[in-house]
Structure 1
Amino acid sequence: MHAPSAKHLTDAQRLSWLRLIRSENVGPRTFRNLLNYHGGAAAALDALPDLARRGGALISPKICSVSDAEREIAGIEKLGGRLIALGEPEYPSALAAADGAPPILSVIGNLECLSRPMVAIVGARNASAAGRSFAARIARELGDAGFTISSGLARGIDASAHEASLSTGTVAALAGGLDRIYPPENVPLLARIVENSGAGLTEMPLGWEPRAQDFPRRNRIIAGLAMGVVIVEAALRSGSLITARLAAELGREVMAAPGSPLDPRCEGSNKLLRDGATLIASSEHVIEALSGMLGRNLPPAALPVLAEPEHDMPPPVPNGEVRARVEELLGPSPAAVDDLIRMSGAPARLVHLILLELELAGRLDRHAGGRVSLIDRL
């Protein structure tokens, strides 16, 4: 089955998409479910208050206004950036294939570098001179071999990888808005990336100051952009190991450079090797590890509809009995959605709709592996 050909959103659709993803309790998976049920973002926006009420919300979720969305678009354009929607030709194809891909990306810089195969290089912020030198050499050589290098603009290994691949193309995934760069000391580095055929991108709104919980979200984008992730010097508790785990969950190649067993900065990367990551000591090792993936398109996730068709009939409304059966099966411990469907005996479409309503009401958490749990509101 062939994927639908990529097309651009109209200005009206782009505005509705931005309003929907910026509305309260709407994340990437919720966004996709809303479009699947309502055929388009405009219809989904109209349905949000009723869906949240049916899910048990006492107050309707805050919906992003037209003026706020228009202000964000104008602010991004003033910075020289633009919004790219999932399903549009410029959207990075590897990221589009990732579960939970952001519906909207704010991008500044050269879009062409997003179309080439990417390798992510991440590691310790307090990296050693040897680690930084190794990351730079790998990044430079992979760039010369035709890869775009992606990383997180952090101090240490990330910055070294970006610096070394400026001339060949590098992408910085950001944890805050395009105008809220972290760390501030790397603002000049991002400017050089953009000036030298690279790009910066984020799923976060303009003006968003990055918080601690936003960095794992950024790491998910780094992993999703790349065919494989190279870890250089990572401690046992580090964002780099989160990136490696997310990459493995997406079916991407996880690679690590061996480090001294006496250096705590290498404990995490050495553990990855013990757990089965590919050992790399040169750019040739990286290319060899990725050889089976080169030229092979990743299967795209089910993309939201860009044409915004209208349904002949509104989505079904679950009756009280079905809703009670599903909610009774939910609790604070994550449960597989497939189990909820099987045990409730309800049609899958209705179960998914009930979960969507609960999520919009702020009562449901989604977890990795298609699992969900109720949020204790006491």
Structure 2
Amino acid sequence: MTASGPTLSDRQRLNWLRLIRTDNVGPATFRDLINRFGSAETAIEALPELASSGGAGRMLRVPSLADVEREAAAAAAFGARFVAIGEPDYPPMLRRMDVPPPIVALKGSPAVFRLPTIAIVGARNASVAGIRFARMLASEFGAEGYAVVSGLARGIDAAAHSGSLDTGTIAVLAGGLDKPYPPENLGLCTQIASRGALISEMPFGWEPRARDFPRRNRLVAGLGLGLLVIEAANRSGSLISARLANEMGRVVFAVPGSPLDPRSAGANALIKDGATLVTEARDVLDVLAPISGIATPPALPLEETPDFGATPPPEESDRGRVLEALGPVPTHVDEIIRHTDLHPAQVFMILLELDLAGRLERHAGGTVSLLVLDA
């Protein structure tokens, strides 16, 4: 059963897909474009001029309507659908992220996203004891009414999913929903789709690359009220997930392990840094109980044109002031506004132009830095 509320029209949904699949348009840029132009269709029309004003050396690749129609048809044939951030079936926990993905592909039951959630991550080459403990904890969390979120990787992820199949589990994919990874978890992926839910922000047909897994980790972290790490080496993807969860204000938990086992070095370090130590399910449940019923903030209206008043568009001298204020060190946008003494709308427009031109990098906490283009 799906929730009730406003939904995008077919035309709007296709234009949202066109915009988010455009070169240099990530979730933050998509949000700024919608806020500035009021609709994806209008924003797409403005892209060439914006990118040119930002100093782009080539034309942006914007998918055609036929391109996204084929992707939508592939999703439908797979039994999946695209859900936008303002729609009722959009996962509530994702709306609490700093910059949520504007549209995601879902397969399975949207009801599982309305359960309180716990993310579990850990080593792919996990020990037998670690796998058994992950499966046991996931089962106990499910018995208490929580859905379990993980990334479908081998090891701890697979154990967390299998332990919560009967109570609700969510798998976040690094590639398209039709390209699960690793191949040995294809059967598990099929079970999750029929009994829980699959989610991805990547296009259908997209084979996951190494650079796509941190994006997946971000969604895993964002979907959970808390994130539990079981067996993670130093410099592992699980520690990236833990860092992202901490930046989002999620609670980070870790299971301690032997100092002699390098698979536990990362989890032990998290505990030293303040993560909640976990030896049983109750250690997690007691911490999350007070926040598991927290209200979800309302979603932004779909395609509603904001009032930008009579703010004039930026001039070349304004662009020069913003470029002068930027550098390789991440700087908060508020500081750039104060330093340049420009109207916030003008600064945001200039940053948007630079972003579309591939000259801006966005960081956690609303900070940005300038990328130096190769000559």
Q: Tell me the TM-score range normalised by the shorter chain.
A: over 0.9
Deviations 1:130-165 (A, max 9, x none): 101110010001011111100000010000010111
Structure 2 residue aligned with 1:369 = 365
Conserved 8 A contact 2:8-2:87: yes
Distance apart, 1:113 and its partner CA: 0.7
8 Å CA contact 1:36–1:304 kept in 2: the answer is no
Relative distance call for 1:370 and 1:279 in structure 2 (3 A) is same
User: Secondary structure, in 3 states, of the residue corresponding to 2:107?
Assistant: strand
The match for 1:329 is 325
Query: Which letter does structure 2 place at the counterpart of 1:363?
Result: R
* 2:247 match: 249
Q: Which sections of structure 2, spanning at least 5 residues, go unmatched?
A: none
Give the aligned partner of residue 51 of structure 2: 52
1:136 maps to: 135
Q: Is the 8 A contact 2:119 2:226 kept in 1?
A: yes
Shift of 1:307: 4.1
Q: What's 2:89 paired with? A: 90
Tell me the alpha carbon deviations over residues 308-367 of structure 1, each in whole angstroms, 9 at most, x when there is no partner. 448798974201221111111112222221211111111111111100000001111111
C-alpha distance in structure 1 between counterparts of 2:33 and 2:312, whole Å: 13
Count of residues in Structure 1 that have an aligned counterpart in Structure 2: 371
Aligned pairs for 1:37-186 within 5 A: 37-186=36-185
Q: Cα deviation per residue 1:153-202 (whole Å; 9 max; x = unaligned)?
A: 0010000010111111100000001111111111111001112x211110
For normalisation by structure 2, the TM-score amounts to 0.96
Aligned-pair CA distance for 1:12: 1.1
Aligned partner of 2:256 in structure 1 is 258
Indicate conservation of the 8 Å contact 1:18/1:104, yes or no: yes
Q: Which residue of 2 aligns with 1:349?
A: 345
Q: TM-score, normalised on structure 1? A: 0.95
1:290 matches 2:288: yes
Alpha-carbon distance in structure 2 between the residues aligned to 1:113 and 1:34: 31
**Paired position in structure 2 for 1:193:** 192
Contact persistence 1:39–1:305 (CA under 8 A)? no
Q: Is the 8 A contact 2:122 2:231 kept in 1?
A: yes
For 1:351, what is the secondary structure of its paired residue?
helix
Contact 1:157 1:232 in 2 (8 A): yes
Match of 1:279 in 2: 277
Q: Residue type of the partner of 1:236?
A: N
CA contact (8 A) 2:311 2:343 kept: no
Structure 2: distance between partners of 1:199 and 1:309 = 33
**Alpha-carbon displacement from aligned partner over 1:254-310 (angstroms, at most 9, x marks no partner):** 00111111111000001110110011111111110102212112545xx55314448
Work out the CA distance in 2 between the residues paired with 1:163 and 1:316.
Answer: 56
In 1, are the aligned partners of 2:54 and 2:357 still within 8 Å (CA)? yes
Report SS of the residue matched to 1:63. coil
CA 1:137–1:73: 2 relative to 1, 3 Å: same
Q: Secondary structure at the match of 1:243?
A: helix
